[in-house]
Amino acid sequence: MFLGGLGSDSSGETLESLVEEDGVKTTFARHSSLPTGHCIALVRGQERTLCANLGAANMYEVSDLEASKERLLDTKAIYVEGYFLSHSFEASMELALFAQKHKITFVFNLCGEYVCEDITYVENVLKILPYIDIMFGNRSEFDVFINTVEAKLNTSSKLIKNLRAMIKGLIIHII
């Protein structure tokens, strides 16, 4: 199942039809005042850069989620990518609580070093962290995230120690 915000435009219609043709159920929040977002990935060797105009993808509210909850009961995992958390924290938290209540695996992707430098984003990740079953990102994203926690937040050394252990590949259960 794929959730998110789309514009009421031909790009949104194309995206929805392509996803559904592949057998993926969709529940999109439609926005007539915003275009469907676009992203291009520039790749050279091991380096990559994303250039995006998020448009309607920036808009997803808890009220948009309500129509999807019944359909989400059939899922085995709910995946939230970090960029979604940065603009739709309340909906992300609602998904995390829903997953926990219904014993659905909750997966989170840190996404991008620059996002991990944003203090509001980092605070929101820490709020949702207790509900995350699987969290992933690359080593540099975890390093930036942990450095931001250390530099800008007054938090426990145990949390920092556990986060550092995570990026070293040790299995830790964070409470």
Q: What is the pLDDT of residue 173?
A: 52
Q: What separation in angstroms does the CA of 84 have from each of 61, 137, 154, 170?
A: 11, 15, 25, 27
State pLDDT tens for residues 80-97. Answer: 998 899 899 999 999 999
| Integer Cα distance of 4 and 16 in angstroms | 10
pLDDT per position as a tens digit, 107-147:
999 988 999 999 999 999 999 999 999 988 888 898 899 88
Look at residue 110 and give its three-state secondary structure.
coil
How far apart (Å, rounded) are the C-alpha atoms in residues 146 and 160? 7
Whether the predicted model's global pTM rises above the 0.95 cut: no
List the one residue out of 101, 104, 149 whose CA is nearest residue 125. Answer: 149
Check whether 175 has a pLDDT greater than 60: no
Alpha-carbon distance 96 to 105, whole Å? 9
Name every residue whose Cβ is closer than 8 Å to that of residue 69 and which is 6 or more positions away in sequence.
98
Residues paired with residue 105 on neighbouring β-strands, in sequence order: 77
CA distance linking residue 23 with residue 31, whole number of Å: 24
- Please give the single-letter amino acid code of residue 143: D
Instruction: Tell me the sheet residues that pair with 51.
Output: 40
